[in-house]
Structure 1
Amino acid sequence: MVFRQVLTLLLGGLFVGLPDCAVSQTLVRRVIDHFLNDTTSPAKPRLLVYPIAAYAPETSVELGVSSLYLYHAKNDTSLNRLSELQAFGFVTLRGQYGLNLENAIYGDKDRWFFLGKVRIQRFPLLYYGIGPASHGKHPATVDAFSILFRQRAMRRLQPNLFGGLEIDYQHLSRVDFKQPENLTHDLPLGSQGTSNLGLGPGLIYDSRPNPLTPRKGFFAEVAYLDYGPSRGSTLSVNSFIADVRGYHTVRPQQVLAWQVYGNMMTGNVPFNQLALLGGENTMRGYYWGRYRDKFYAAAQVEYRWLPFPFSKRFGAVVFAAVGTVAPELNKVQFSHLLPTAGTGIRYLLFKKKDVYLRADMGVTREGVGFYIFTGEAF
């Protein structure tokens, strides 16, 4: 992921800097005006498409395309919030592939709200075991075909309050566990593949004008999902999710943001559906899935300069977080709390839509993680 995102930026820089024999100066100016100078009206939709190249030992060379589409319903910036659609597709020379889609769509006058993601891929992941004491030096490599479909279809109940149905479908097949040389992991539940469909009610409170760069307001979600055999699920699972975030403008262009997140699962939970700690959003610095179990809780705080007082486009953040996993809520041990902290740089990508490119570095007791994405982590 890190090499992929870094090389994406390098390719973008090489494209803008091509000589006259490859791309005319007029085309280069148009590219700069379209993507950097942001000369169009704030009400107009914006589309960014760029190539991706990467290399990793487990995937070999990876090539792909990523895109970001931003718009306001009916092009009305006074009544409607910023909606976003992101897409990323890739293939590798070893036959691996993936398609990732994310959406946060606000209808006209907030009548509807759709929030979700889709991931279809055959891509290796690292499995360190289950629980807060899992071994960190010798992970198994799991190669499998997976489908993840998570969507919230919400209707406005009151201003900023939405209620509706949450859907989560997770499929895992063609699973191949490759054990490390120095350690043999016990094969977890679901190692032969599973398909589970979860349905349930959800409530979302969202007063953020811009979900990609929140400067004020609150976001809160509570949801209950039931993965029952009556819907064709391989295993019986229940999941409860709570996510609360707050954003406060401390000074002009400076924001204090915080988040508290919890996920509690019961039943026969396959390893790929366990609550996963780490990744680019909450516990930055830990590999996504480094720790996994039926219960996961985390809290983080971040201070943002968007942008610096002396710059029109560059800003920065500092953040800290703590989290843990456990088999049950009443079995959480404070000795297993995992801290992380870090900093990041921001670049104002779309000035008139207030959207930033972020580059974050998270530092943990186990190492360092680097992330480059569009939009804030939370």
Structure 2
Amino acid sequence: MGKRILHFLTLILVPLTLNAQGRPEEFVKTDTIGKKKNIKFIGLPIAFYTPETEFGVGGGGQMFLLNNTNQYNQRLSNILFSGIYTTAGQIMFNVTPQVYLGKGDYFIDADYLFEIYPNSFWGIGPETPEENEEFYEQTTHKVKLRFLKRLPPDLNFGLTYNFANHQVTEVLSGGLLDSGDILGADRTVISGIGAEFNLDTRNNTGSPTNGQLFEIGAHFSSPILGATHGFNKFTLDLRNYAPVGTWGTLATQIFVENNFGDVPFQGMAFFGGSNSARGYFYGRFLDKNMYVVQAEYRYQFKPRWKLAAFGLFGSVAGDAQDLLRFNSLKPGYGAGVRFKLLKEQGTWLRLDIGNGKDGQNGIYFGINEAF
């Protein structure tokens, strides 16, 4: 009976990983595929839960290109696609090719997203009141292209192109988005190039127990390339994973985002979500600048079970120097449990409960660690 239940969970509850932004991001990947064929295809049912989407279900697939392998970490070139419907009325379709060239010395990473997304908006700034909440609906087409060059042994550097067309299709009559004072309240096009650099020594990208990640990015949106607003975005992501005893791991992260120029609300920093600030609705607070500091202790008390406890604090602000104002500090804390799906793979189901300031809270169910 136990084996039957595990098999059912593997087939039905294999969801997409949820990103810092509270959206599904990528399928579970496997390194156990045989090399007898050039192409391998697997179908993947999807199930997950976040406060922003409520329950999400759908399906998709992953096609592996078995002759295109990053020989440095044995990751296979692949193409992911998914279709999702949530009980909050959201529809999402996503295609993500990831192709390694030159034995892994070059990496092409592309992402296309189409979504119809009912959402909530409270205004801009660190102190927007709860009673400001209004609902809106938005249709989005988004494309991101990355071309990275590996600099041995653990450095990666490259260029990016970002495009997004956000069409707001429904707003609350007489509300904040209907006032005409919010940039992007009707339509936003983001289009621009950027650069990314990272140093990644993690022993596992989904559930690391050792190593570091240092990542910095600069992205520019310009009317010259068809954007409706010109602005610059800079991000810094610092992570460290330190073993504690035989079975414990202390994970820490500092994430900073700064935006300059005429920033539409869709391009601002969103505080909250299933990864960066659990306990807060993704986008409950948003502004041009944001930082989040979080730490999590993970304890593997059995070969396929872990417990976790986390704490965090951060804020958003229109001016970067106002980020350190303690009266707008937003703390959070919570705990969770993880279950390893298969003995031979490092893929973990994650269930977290997070709590924030002024009664904010959330339940998060997905795959692998938050960061």
- Normalized against structure 1, the TM-score is what? 0.78
In structure 2, the CA distance between the partners of 1:296 and 1:73, relative to structure 1 (3 Å rule), is farther
Return the offset for 1:247.
0.9
Q: Is 1:359 aligned to 2:354, yes or no?
A: no
Q: Is 1:99 aligned to 2:93, yes or no?
A: yes
Q: Partners of 1:353 and 1:267 in 2: how far apart?
A: 45
Matches within 5 A, 1:231-250: 231-250=225-244
Matches within 5 A, 1:254-269: 254-269=248-263
Return the offset for 1:250.
1.7
The residue aligned with 1:346 is 338
Matches within 5 A, 1:41-190: 42=32, 44=34, 47=42, 49-50=44-45, 52=47, 64-65=58-59, 79-82=72-75, 87-91=81-85, 97-101=91-95, 110-114=104-108, 117-178=111-172, 186-187=179-180, 188-190=182-184
The residue aligned with 2:319 is 328
Superposed CA offset, 1:34-54 (max 9, x none): 899xxx984658956225599
In structure 2, the CA distance between the partners of 1:266 and 1:101, relative to structure 1 (3 Å rule), is same
- The worse-fitting range, judged by mean Cα deviation, of 330-339 and 93-102 is 93-102
The residue aligned with 2:26 is none
Q: Partners of 2:370 and 2:97 in 1: how far apart?
A: 15
The residue aligned with 1:275 is 269
- Superposed CA RMSD in Å reads 3.7
- Normalized against structure 2, the TM-score is what? 0.80
In structure 2, the CA distance between the partners of 1:142 and 1:233, relative to structure 1 (3 Å rule), is same
Q: Partners of 1:353 and 1:248 in 2: how far apart?
A: 21
- Structure 1 residue ranges without an equivalent (≥5): 1-12, 18-27
Q: Partners of 1:105 and 1:156 in 2: how far apart?
A: 13
Of 352, 361, 366, the residue aligned with 1:368 is 361
Matches within 5 A, 1:225-236: 225-236=219-230
Q: Partners of 1:275 and 1:59 in 2: how far apart?
A: 19
Return the offset for 1:198.
2.1
Letter in 1 for 2:266: N
Aligned residues: 344
Return the offset for 1:112.
2.8
Q: Is 1:206 aligned to 2:200, yes or no?
A: yes
The residue aligned with 1:314 is 305
Determine if contact 2:49/2:364 at 8 Å carries over to the other structure: no
Q: Partners of 1:346 and 1:318 in 2: how far apart?
A: 11
Determine if contact 1:71/1:82 at 8 Å carries over to the other structure: no
- The worse-fitting range, judged by mean Cα deviation, of 101-110 and 136-145 is 101-110
- Structure 2 residue ranges without an equivalent (≥5): 14-29, 35-39
Determine if contact 2:168/2:185 at 8 Å carries over to the other structure: no
- The worse-fitting range, judged by mean Cα deviation, of 330-339 and 233-242 is 330-339
Q: Partners of 1:207 and 1:55 in 2: how far apart?
A: 29
Q: Partners of 2:120 and 2:362 in 1: how far apart?
A: 15
Return the offset for 1:154.
1.0
SS in 1 for 2:266: helix
Return the offset for 1:152.
3.0
Of 190, 209, 222, the residue aligned with 1:215 is 209
Q: Partners of 1:340 and 1:154 in 2: how far apart?
A: 35
Letter in 2 for 1:321: L
Determine if contact 1:175/1:191 at 8 Å carries over to the other structure: no
Letter in 2 for 1:99: F
In structure 2, the CA distance between the partners of 1:111 and 1:267, relative to structure 1 (3 Å rule), is same
Return the offset for 1:160.
0.5
